[in-house]
Amino acid sequence: DARVTQTPRHKVTEMGQEVTMRCQPILGHNTVFWYRQTMMQGLELLAYFRNRAPLDDSGMPKDRFSAEMPDATLATLKIQPSEPRDSAVYFCASGPPADTQYFGPGTRLTVL
């Protein structure tokens, strides 16, 4: 049963620290998305990649967030420095181009 995996599942950190979240997309999926979910804003797209190339990162605060795909099996989302307002659940999703997206279990981030 192919699934998107994310690590860590939970992260508590202090303001100003660097946070790195990792995602392993489903094998064979060439499109990877990063979303953030909060009670106030719901699910928001941060960035996405196709064939490891970034296509759109307009949803990310550019000064502190960065997203990369070092290889086809790993996507990373970094926040440096982290702020309390970054507290949220971050989801990775993967899928074929312009088709159904399959979500991972999420990383719950708390910035104190």
Partner 1 sequence: EDQVTQSPEALRLQEGESSSLNCSYTVSGLRGLFWYRQDPGKGPEFLFTLYSAGEEKEKERLKATLTKKESFLHITAPKPEDSATYLCAVQANNQGGKLIFGQGTELSVKP
Residue matched to tokens 């981030």: 109
Which of 66, 87, 101, 110 lies at the binding interface for partner 1 (CB under 8 A)?
Answer: 101
Q: Kindly state the smallest distance separating residue 15's Cβ from partner 1, in Å.
A: 25
Q: What is the spatial distance between Cα 44 and Cα 34, in angstroms, rounded to a whole number?
A: 9
* Number of residues lying near partner 1 (CB under 8 A): 24
Q: How far is the CB of 69 from partner 1 (least distance, A)?
A: 15
- Pair 32, 94: CB distance under 8 Å: yes
Among 23, 69, 106, 111, binds partner 1 (CB under 8 A): 106
Is 85 in a helix, a strand, or coil? helix
Binding of partner 1 at residue 98 (CB under 8 A)? yes
SS3 sequence, 1-44? CCCCEEECCEEEECCCCCEEEEEECCCCCCEEEEEEEECCCEEE
List the interface residues with partner 1, window 38-97 (CB under 8 A).
42-45, 48, 50, 55-56, 91, 93, 95, 97
Secondary element (H or E) of residue 73: none
Q: Give residues 17-46 in contact with partner 1 (rule: CB under 8 A).
A: 31, 33, 42-45
Under the rule (CB under 8 A), what is the footprint of partner 1? 4, 31, 33, 42-45, 48, 50, 55-56, 91, 93, 95, 97-106
